[in-house]
Amino acid sequence: MSKHTPEEQRQRTLHAIHSSGLGVQSVWVRYFSFTGDVDEFEVDAYLNGLITLTPLDRDLVSLAVNELIAERLPPTAPYSNDSEDPDESDTLVALDVLDDRENGNEDGGGPGASGNT
């Protein structure tokens, strides 16, 4: 998978914000929750191509946008062998991922590879 250039990342982040009807304010508040340090004006300036942010700050903005979008999605249908308590299954998946990493298994295979198949 080729990496996005900073400019591609910015444009697609802005596009995601516009298409999902999010506001810069709500994105910044979430970004701030994620230990982001630059202020709202700078995030706005970054999104509009006036300044650049560090790769980590850009990723935190993207993460904020993605989590806000995920919260707005309609619920999905469960499968017959899914855990009844979604929090519990999330916790198990999270612990699995943590254990894999700690055991030196860095070859995660990307999102979705750690499902309960």
Partner 1 sequence: MNTSAPSSSSSSPLPPELLAIFGRTNGHLLTEQTAHNAVDGLAEIARDIIGAAEGAGVSLINTDGTRMSVGATDPRVLEADDQQYELGQGPCMSAWVSGEPVYIADTHTDQRWQKWTTAVAPLGVRSCLSVPLLDKPTGLGAMKVYSNTVDAFSGKDRRLLINLARSAATLLDHIQASDTPQRISNDVKASLAERDTIGVARGILMERLDVDRQAAMNHLIDLATDANTTIGFMAAIISERQDDTEPTPDP
Contact (CB, 8 A) for 9 and 63: no
Main-chain dihedrals φ then ψ at residue 12, nearest 5 degrees: -75, -30
DSSP 8-46: HHHHHHHHHHHHHT--HHHHHHHHHHTT--S-HHHHHHH
53-92: contacts with partner 1 (CB under 8 A)? 54, 56, 59-60, 63, 67, 70, 90-92
Token readout for 20 is 């999902």
Site for partner 1 in 4-63 (CB under 8 A): 25-26, 28-29, 32-35, 39-40, 54, 56, 59-60, 63
CB of 90 vs partner 1, minimal distance in Å: 5
Residues that bind partner 1 (CB under 8 A): 25-26, 28-29, 32-35, 39-40, 54, 56, 59-60, 63, 67, 70, 90-99, 101, 108, 110-115
